Structure 1
Amino acid sequence: MKAQTVGIIDIGSNSVRFVIYDINNHACYEEILNLKVVARLSSHINEHGAMTDEGIQVVLNTLNKFAVVAKKYNITVIRGVATAAIRNAINSKDIIAAIHKHSSFSVKILSEKEEAYYGFLAVTNSTNLPKGITIDIGGGSTEITYFEDRKAIHLHSFPFGAITLKKQFIENDSPSETEWIALRSYLQKQFSTLPWLKGKNVPIVGIGGSARNLGLIHQNIVDYPLSGLHHYEMTAEDVFSIQGKLSSLSLKGREKVDGLSKDRADIILPAIAAIEELITYTGSSRFIVSNKGLRDGLFYEKLLETIDISHFPNVTHESFYQLAIAYQLDSTHQKRLSVLASYLATELINKNIITLSDTDLTHLHWASHVFYIGSTIHPESKSQHTFYLLTNQSINGLTHMERLAIAFIASFRSRSQLKLYARPFRHWVTKEELKKYELMGALLKLCYGLNISKRDVVKRIQIDSSTDTKLNLSVYYDGDPYFEEFHASKYKKHLERGLKRTISVQFIPNK
């Protein structure tokens, strides 16, 4: 792929953002800039439905600020879009004309279905959810989609958002009981116009700032030890509980809540009310936060259009490819490590020595591809850096618990080190799960030793015999296995502890 720099401008009802992505010739991308202006454009709509001159000037001033910043970057293409605040304004054509005349950017007004589609595109290109309902609560509109097998089945946009709901139903800083009843009744009637939502009982995926704030608040309440917000999961009860907590506070009180942005404290309650009513109407028990939204959907479309597809073939595979390039991993070595680990795991399973599920084997596969990824930062602390890297960044296509499992396996150095890593997660991981991660990590570390010189000397692994106390392992090789033999004898002790058996490793020329 030809290297390029892509800019996305998103003129929303609450905020205006300018995001820049860098794409290299390996099709690896990263977000290198993300600027935000809280414009509250919905509040600049007059009683006739037109955006005021003051509101238009806010848009132009914001774009001019972005233009100054854009000069620093060699941007290949900039996609500018506008959503509900400008779309619904009766003078929308005049606004776009003013933008084209007084700014250096071209801006397109997205239709309601286009706005919903890009939110869907962001979620289905960054998670492995087989089906779900997305809700993107903006300042002036709310987009709902239902998808199955990464296909958009239904898309809809409601003409209300967090700002307009606050303006329409809540007079003061906090809603009165009467206002709550009126707001909820309105939301119930709106959702009831979409019978395809009723009783779906699939995960609700929240997009946008209000959903992100909801997740951040909950993470602070439970002292969540894992970093990252994308694909953070909450129960329906968690959502209702946070709404109850925030409703009992004044505006000043809400502004002090950890995880809640000060500029969103006045509109968070109607946003949560919309999420609650959607949860109730659909019968869902799960709420998942997406850190990807409209801008990401626009970017994914631009990235993938060169190969004429709308979705990554496999989200998780794409994420690990990105990691491998970003940290300059030896992909041949990592793939070989995966093959050896699969050989050994399969042998142990077939001999009824261990029990691993298909999910466990998948985790082992992905852990193989990032085993000791931290060595690219410093080889002396490769285990520590590996665990830190994998637990301190979201990985598209993985849930938080999947990411934690892979971090335990891929960073394995010893039982004592594993227990040290697990301390902050003692309420999230059982002792049985930790033993399993130790076993899988020890298995992977032995295989790491079997390709320590990165020459693919070892061709096959076979268990010749085993008892309750002993296991005989045959390793077939081509070439000189000196270093592999040395490290196998050194690393086998970790697997011996996991299996509670002594292991005899015999190296045999491959014929």
Structure 2
Amino acid sequence: MIKDQYAIIDMGSNSFRLVINEVDHHGQYNELHNYKTVARLSTYILNNGYLSDEGVAIVSNTLTRFKEIIDYHQIPKLIVIATAAMRKAKNKEEIVRSIEKKLGMTIRILSEYEEAFYGYLAIVNSTNISDGFTVDIGGGSTEITLFKNRTLVHYHSFPFGAITLHQKFFQQTKNLADAVQALKNYIREQWLTLPWLATHLHYPVIGIGGSARNLSLIHQRQVNYPLAGIHQYEIPKTEVFHINDMLQLTSSEERSQIDGLSKDRVEIIVPAVEIISSIVDHVQAEKFIMSRKGLRDGVFYEELLKTMETNRFPNVIEENMYQITSKYNIKLDYVSHISYLAMQLYKQLSPFALVDHDQKEALKLLQLSARVLYIGETINSESSSQNTFYLLTNITIEGLSHQERLAVAFISSYKSKSQMMKYAEPFIKIISKSNLKLFEFLGSIMKLAYSLDRTKRKIITKIGQVTENNDQLVLPLYYKEDPYFENIQAKKNKKQLEKSIKQSIEFLYKPLK
């Protein structure tokens, strides 16, 4: 299979990162390597605006180490991008020429617009969010964007970041309270320079970068969050404010003990979270959402989608489901028929569901669950249910909220109510009893749909109109060939559905004319 590999080096103001991606001719992509070094390049900008000799040495040494990895793995394509610290350095052109001569690398210094644009691009290609504000807090700049209907409307790059704000307000003072208040006043003043921030109140704020990630990890540890992953992790605004207050009242030593906070961000986390808290408050957002995808991912998406003459996936969930099903060798033709049967079963049996629910949402969950139904079989067929649930609660499905991903995990792994309740134990704080009742109903429908294609030959072609006869539901099943094995499996597994709706079900097999 033909595969294309290329590397992206992101020269941030706080850290440098090398990511190596692989893309095959089917459009399936995979991250092969990811390396990070803390450079703190912003701290090496001198008063005269030049990057110091020590800073230049860090650039050269770090890129040399990255080049050794790239050369070893024989990566044919390389993109090197640099952000605020390099953009501000008066000697940037000299540094670029020096690196070109020494290492053969061409450094592309992003404009303020480009830095904001790639952050926005990462979010609209990896989440299901149509409208929102993005905030990307780097070491030396902060990018804010507003997007509507997945289209960039406004952007701005502020010439301050987590490192430069720490230098400005905290490095030369011993009075923490005064420094915090001065920081708060300064940031509020900056928001007022952008009238468009007040034009779309209540849009969510989506955060990019290491400081946003640390905020999310701190919150997850505080609430003992049971689901893996931070992409599209949501924090209510009041809890953002609470963590912000907590950080501002602690010393550096105390912050170093906070679970979820990286040691290299103990100092700069205070101004960074104040930025997040302040923008959430200013635009009256109800929640903050974390995006694991950021600047370099935006660059990656642009490269990936060039051949399609676009820079946005038409449907993020569909694209990510394609990536997952390709990785686990799931046959799309097979799961499409399972999905079709599940839709038909739901249409006939939803009036008998014992839990109130949104039908549109239920159909969406069934369709998604069919795509990854018993995906754990690829690991071990004897424990496919357990493996399916584990996989789906421990991988990111871009475009799905955490609640949607958990719902899909329950439905696509469904074996029995008792088994589901065992799976639910660690998640009991974030799912309701009515949620579990719905998952039981949808999961048992999915299990029956799976049974009706036991031989994977599409024997059952249609589900007929359900009727009631002597306290029993009669469900017509139209077949094109002998459904012997489908009938055995369906009779065995219909019990779970009968328990869910508290109704007896009788199958009525009819030949397709």
In structure 2, the partner of 1:233 is: 234
Kept in 1, the 8 Å contact 2:134–2:207? The answer is: yes
- Superposed counterparts of 1:416-435, under 5 Å: 416-435=418-437
Alpha-carbon separation, structure 2, partners of 1:335 and 1:297: 31
Kept in 1, the 8 Å contact 2:453–2:459? The answer is: yes
Per-residue deviation, residues 115-171 of structure 1 (Å, max 9, x unmatched)? 000000000000111100000000000000000011000011000000000001112
- Superposed counterparts of 1:15-414, under 5 Å: 15-171=15-171, 176-198=176-198, 200-349=201-350, 356-357=357-358, 358-414=360-416
In structure 2, the partner of 1:505 is: 507
Deviation at 1:179, TM superposition (A): 1.0
DSSP 3-state at the match of 1:341: helix
Higher mean displacement: 252-261 or 162-171: 252-261
Deviation at 1:480, TM superposition (A): 2.1
Alpha-carbon separation, structure 2, partners of 1:173 and 1:297: 38
Kept in 1, the 8 Å contact 2:355–2:437? The answer is: no
Q: Give the partner amino acid of 1:381.
A: S
Deviation at 1:35, TM superposition (A): 0.4
Kept in 1, the 8 Å contact 2:173–2:179? The answer is: no
Alpha-carbon separation, structure 1, partners of 2:2 and 2:175: 53
Deviation at 1:462, TM superposition (A): 1.6
Q: Percent identity, aligned pairs only?
A: 45
Alpha-carbon separation, structure 2, partners of 1:261 and 1:159: 24
Q: Give the partner amino acid of 2:49.
A: G
Alpha-carbon separation, structure 2, partners of 1:183 and 1:486: 70
DSSP 3-state at the match of 1:71: helix
Alpha-carbon separation, structure 2, partners of 1:125 and 1:432: 32
TM-score for both structures, normalised by structure 2: 0.97
Q: Does 1:479 align with 2:492?
A: no
Deviation at 1:510, TM superposition (A): 0.7
Alpha-carbon separation, structure 1, partners of 2:233 and 2:51: 37
Per-residue deviation, residues 284-316 of structure 1 (Å, max 9, x unmatched)? 121000000001000000000011111111000
Deviation at 1:427, TM superposition (A): 1.2
DSSP 3-state at the match of 2:350: helix
DSSP 3-state at the match of 1:6: strand
Kept in 1, the 8 Å contact 2:134–2:145? The answer is: yes
Higher mean displacement: 381-390 or 1-10: 1-10
Q: Residues 350 and 413 (structure 1 numbering): CA distance in 2 closer, same or farther, change over 3 Å?
A: closer
Q: Give the partner amino acid of 1:267.
A: I
Q: Residues 16 and 468 (structure 1 numbering): CA distance in 2 closer, same or farther, change over 3 Å?
A: farther
Q: Residues 110 and 175 (structure 1 numbering): CA distance in 2 closer, same or farther, change over 3 Å?
A: farther
Per-residue deviation, residues 75-115 of structure 1 (Å, max 9, x unmatched)? 23111000000001111111111111222321100000000
Q: Residues 212 and 174 (structure 1 numbering): CA distance in 2 closer, same or farther, change over 3 Å?
A: farther
- Structure 2: unaligned runs, 5 residues or longer: none
Q: Give the partner amino acid of 1:30.
A: N
Alpha-carbon separation, structure 2, partners of 1:289 and 1:492: 41
Higher mean displacement: 305-314 or 171-180: 171-180
Deviation at 1:249, TM superposition (A): 2.1
In structure 2, the partner of 1:13 is: 13
In structure 2, the partner of 1:440 is: 442
Q: Give the partner amino acid of 1:397.
A: G
Per-residue deviation, residues 311-348 of structure 1 (Å, max 9, x unmatched)? 11100011111110000111111110000000111122
Alpha-carbon separation, structure 1, partners of 2:362 and 2:322: 20
Alpha-carbon separation, structure 1, partners of 2:175 and 2:392: 42
Q: Give the partner amino acid of 1:40.
A: R
Per-residue deviation, residues 406-465 of structure 1 (Å, max 9, x unmatched)? 100000000100000000111111111101100100001001000011101110012341
Aligned residues: 511
Alpha-carbon separation, structure 2, partners of 1:47 and 1:427: 52
Alpha-carbon separation, structure 1, partners of 2:281 and 2:257: 29
Alpha-carbon separation, structure 2, partners of 1:343 and 1:21: 40
Kept in 2, the 8 Å contact 1:140–1:159? The answer is: yes
Q: Give the partner amino acid of 2:144.
A: I
Alpha-carbon separation, structure 1, partners of 2:126 and 2:119: 11
- Structure 1: unaligned runs, 5 residues or longer: none
Per-residue deviation, residues 200-238 of structure 1 (Å, max 9, x unmatched)? 211000000000000000000000000000000001111
Kept in 2, the 8 Å contact 1:139–1:161? The answer is: yes
DSSP 3-state at the match of 1:20: strand
Q: Does 1:488 align with 2:487?
A: no
Higher mean displacement: 354-363 or 287-296: 354-363
